[in-house]
Amino acid sequence: MVRGLDTFRRFFKDFSGNYILIGGAACDEHMTDAGLIFRATKDLDLVLIVEALNTEFVQHFWRFVREGGYETRQKSGGGRKYYRFLKPQKEIYPYQLELFARNPDLLDLADDTHLTPIPVDDDMSSLSAILMNDDYYGFTIENSEVEDDLHRAGVETLICLKAKAYLDLKKRKEKEEKIDERNINKHKNDVVRLAVLLSPENSRHLPDSIRDDMRQFMDLLKLEPPDYGTLGKLMGVPRLDEEVVVNQIKHTFILSV
């Protein structure tokens, strides 16, 4: 389990309608539920649900930051809004919180708030741009669930977000931006990990834009496959089969039509 997740769960149990957990921590929750192993991750990525936010939640959130003693509090510049909180003084709190908001200045309501500019971050800027897209934002909300007092994105949502992040970072890398290759491959590998959790009995229609992105991702996955054997051993599936994974993704998202 990701450090501090239980503390967050208890603190926000009455506010599950205000956020959705995405990213590695959400992936880890789903994998753990299935008895499998995800990769190491230390941050909680949260999407703030604009339509449900209110002063009560904002005040409660800042109380969490204060009680955790977060030393570093950062905010992005420009039109895309995301926030990062690092280095809590209390070890039972998440080491790192990253929040994404479609509405600028949502959290800038506390009188004692001092937010420094956030450094450029490949993953955060990419994910923020993805969530500004109406299709991805709506799909994330519609395909989420509350489990054990924690509001988290569904497996299908996480796969689509990871695939889109992979495409975006890869495109930026091709434009000669300084993008860490490990960050690009991380998202591709996570899609494969999560695909093991998909049910052969279920399939769903995607919004056109997301379906197009998934088809593009699958084309690249075929051209640049990960090491399925190594991934399988690390996650507890020693005979992870490429064909099975690919066919399952295509079936779930109806990509062959």
Domain boundaries in the chain?
5-252
Query: Tokens 């994105």 appear where?
Result: 153
Which DSSP string corresponds to 101-140?
ESSTTTTTT-TT---EEPPP-HHHHHHHHHHTSHHHHHHH
* CA-only gyration radius of the chain, Å: 18
pLDDT at 172: 92
pLDDT band at 121 (very low <50, low <70, confident <90, very high): low
Judge whether 217 and 191 are in contact, CB under 8 Å.
Answer: yes
What digits encode the pLDDT tens for the residues 153-199? Answer: 999 999 999 999 999 999 999 998 888 999 999 999 999 999 999 99
In percent, how much of the chain has pLDDT > 90? Answer: 74
Which positions ≥6 away from 32 have C-beta within 8 Å?
A: 1, 38
